[in-house]
């Protein structure tokens, strides 16, 4: 088996793949309703929320678009707090649908500074909502969302969070931190294939939804809410991935949420330590280093594109490259979802052999 070490899609356990291979069922029938109801309950548990959690058929980006079009109106001002490619994507979606974006962009590789968010909110009282990435997958940085959320909620703004690559793997108590809208995606930490996005919606967000004038049809969350109460979705969902998710959630429940967080912490620590022992440098300041993906600087002559090729062709290991301004400057190791310390040990052992073949002079 290939050692797939990218930050999504991530490998899936055999039980999940078997569940996914089952014969189709009626998406409006009683079997599906029973599955949907359990899935919705368990998602709420992992989102640590009493809010509605809706299941959308689409990738994570679809979830971000749903967030943008359901709670805002054209012409409304939105503060985009971005620390990388995915933060910029969220802002771009809101902007395309007519929101006025105030961009608070931080250097790729740094975390967002709550003090600067506070300042921006004070300077622009017209801001209605704030977009924040919890875990910026392109740079391997986890924002201090607790502090950022406290600033945003202190100012009484709607908080919309891209937690696509963190929720399920990194602690994000949605209700405790007051996050109004939170998006995740199936192929990241949830141990299932791509195809689903999850979105939680607070009572305040539903109020905004009632007034929101952005155009929407497929992503109309009021329709999703009415349907999920019957154990359905308004349109045909990707049934197979929902059945797979049902299995994965049972496995996650058995492992325990806190144990999952601890496993990701431990494996991330092991990854960072191993990378440094090879003479490499981390992009992130360790305080903000992500527990789901590690970004490594291409120093000492290392050609990261060559490294990815050597790792893939000679060592059966697939790593990720850099994106946006970091293309050609970093490589990334994914360690989320169905991952063990041994998967990373094998990756590091192979890296040690591959690095000199990709120009690295240790």
Ligand X SMILES: *Cc1c(COP(=O)(O)O)cnc(C)c1O
CB of 63 to ligand X, least distance (A): 8
DSSP E strand stretches across 32-145: 52-57, 77-82, 100-105, 127-133, 135-136, 141-142
Tokens of 22: 């089952």
When binding is defined by CB under 6 A, the residue of 61, 73, 150, 323 that contacts ligand X is: 61
CB of 260 to ligand X, least distance (A): 17
Q: In this complex, which beta carbon is closest to ligand X, that of residue 5 or of residue 360?
A: 5
Q: In this complex, which beta carbon is closest to ligand X, that of residue 47 or of residue 86?
A: 86
Q: How far apart are CA 27 and CA 324, in angstroms?
A: 40
**165 makes contact with ligand X (CB under 6 A):** yes
Tokens of 268: 């991330």
Distance from CA of residue 256 to its chain's centroid?
20
**162 makes contact with ligand X (CB under 6 A):** yes
Q: How far apart are CA 135 and CA 257, in angstroms?
A: 18
How many chain residues bind ligand X (CB under 6 A)?
12
**59 makes contact with ligand X (CB under 6 A):** yes
**60 makes contact with ligand X (CB under 6 A):** yes
Inter-residue contact 52 to 175 (CB < 8 Å): no
Q: How far apart are CA 60 and CA 248, in angstroms?
A: 18
Which residue's structure tokens are 């910029």? 88
Q: In this complex, which beta carbon is closest to ligand X, that of residue 233 or of residue 350?
A: 233
Q: In this complex, which beta carbon is closest to ligand X, that of residue 57 or of residue 227?
A: 57
**8 makes contact with ligand X (CB under 6 A):** yes
Q: In this complex, which beta carbon is closest to ligand X, that of residue 94 or of residue 354?
A: 94
**164 makes contact with ligand X (CB under 6 A):** yes
Task: Name the one range near ligand X by CB under 6 A: 100-108, 158-166, 171-179, 238-246.
Answer: 158-166
CB of 293 to ligand X, least distance (A): 8
DSSP E strand stretches across 207-260: none
**80 makes contact with ligand X (CB under 6 A):** no
Q: How far apart are CA 349 and CA 271, in angstroms?
A: 11
Residue closest to 144 by CA, chosen among 129, 131, 133: 133
When binding is defined by CB under 6 A, the residue of 86, 198, 315, 360 that contacts ligand X is: 86
Residue closest to 150 by CA, chosen among 177, 180, 119: 177
Inter-residue contact 184 to 164 (CB < 8 Å): yes
CB of 325 to ligand X, least distance (A): 16
CB of 357 to ligand X, least distance (A): 29
Q: How far apart are CA 351 and CA 302, in angstroms?
A: 12
- Closest residue to ligand X, based on beta-carbon distance: 60
Q: In this complex, which beta carbon is closest to ligand X, that of residue 165 or of residue 294?
A: 165
Coil/strand/helix, residue 79 = strand
Q: In this complex, which beta carbon is closest to ligand X, that of residue 162 or of residue 204?
A: 162
Other CB atoms within 10 Å distance of the CB of residue 251: 14
Q: In this complex, which beta carbon is closest to ligand X, that of residue 59 or of residue 350?
A: 59
**142 makes contact with ligand X (CB under 6 A):** no
Inter-residue contact 112 to 285 (CB < 8 Å): no
Whether residue 272 is annotated as binding a ligand: the answer is no
When binding is defined by CB under 6 A, the residue of 140, 185, 193, 304 that contacts ligand X is: 185
DSSP β-ladder status, 330-334 and 293-297 = antiparallel
Helix 257-277 and helix 341-354, axial crossing angle in degrees, nearest 10:
20
**171 makes contact with ligand X (CB under 6 A):** no
Contact mark string toward ligand X, 102..141, x via CB under 6 A? -------------------------------x---x----
**180 makes contact with ligand X (CB under 6 A):** no
DSSP 8-class letter at 10 = -
Q: How far apart are CA 290 and CA 281, in angstroms?
A: 15
Task: Name the one range near ligand X by CB under 6 A: 55-63, 174-182, 242-250, 326-334.
Answer: 55-63
Please state the residue numbers annotated as binding site.
332
Kindly list the residues in this chain that would bind ligand X in the complex (CB under 6 A): 8, 59-61, 86, 133, 137, 162, 164-165, 185, 188
């Amino acid at each position: 088996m290939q050692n797939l070490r990218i930050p999504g899609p991530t490998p899936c356990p055999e039980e999940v793949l078997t569940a996914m291979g089952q014969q189709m069922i009626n998406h409006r029938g009683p079997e599906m309703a029973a599955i949907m109801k359990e899935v919705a309950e368990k998602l709420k548990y992992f989102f640590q929320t009493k809010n509605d959690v809706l299941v959308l058929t689409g990738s994570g980006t679809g979830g971000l678009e749903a967030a943008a079009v359901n709670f805002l109106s054209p012409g409304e001002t939105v503060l985009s707090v971005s620390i990388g490619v995915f933060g910029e994507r969220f802002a771009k979606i809101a902007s395309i649908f007519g929101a006025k974006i105030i961009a608070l962009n931080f250097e790729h590789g740094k975390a967002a500074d709550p003090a600067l968010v506070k300042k921006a909110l004070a300077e622009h009282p017209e801001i209605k909502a704030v977009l924040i990435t919890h875990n910026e997958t392109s740079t391997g940085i986890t924002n201090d969302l607790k502090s950022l959320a406290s600033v945003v909620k202190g100012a009484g703004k709607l908080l919309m969070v891209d937690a696509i690559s963190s929720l399920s793997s990194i602690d994000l108590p949605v209700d405790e931190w007051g996050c109004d809208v939170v998006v995740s995606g199936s192929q990241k930490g949830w141990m299932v294939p791509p195809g689903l996005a999850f979105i939680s919606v607070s009572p305040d967000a539903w109020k905004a939804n009632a007034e929101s004038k952005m155009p929407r049809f497929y992503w109309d969350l009021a329709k999703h809410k009415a349907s999920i109460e019957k154990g359905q979705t308004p349109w045909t969902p990707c049934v197979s991935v929902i059945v797979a998710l049902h299995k994965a959630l049972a496995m996650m429940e058995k492992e325990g949420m806190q144990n999952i967080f601890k496993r990701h912490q431990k494996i991330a620590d092991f990854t960072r330590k191993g990378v440094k022992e090879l003479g490499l440098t981390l992009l992130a300041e360790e305080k903000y280093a992500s527990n789901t993906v590690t970004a490594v600087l291409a120093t000492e002559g290392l050609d990261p594109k060559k490294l990815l090729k050597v790792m893939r062709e000679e060592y059966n290991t697939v790593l990720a490259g850099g994106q946006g301004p970091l293309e050609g400057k970093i490589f990334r190791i994914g360690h989320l979802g169905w991952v063990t310390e041994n998967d990373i040990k094998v990756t590091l052992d192979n890296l040690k052999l591959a690095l000199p073949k990709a120009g690295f002079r240790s």
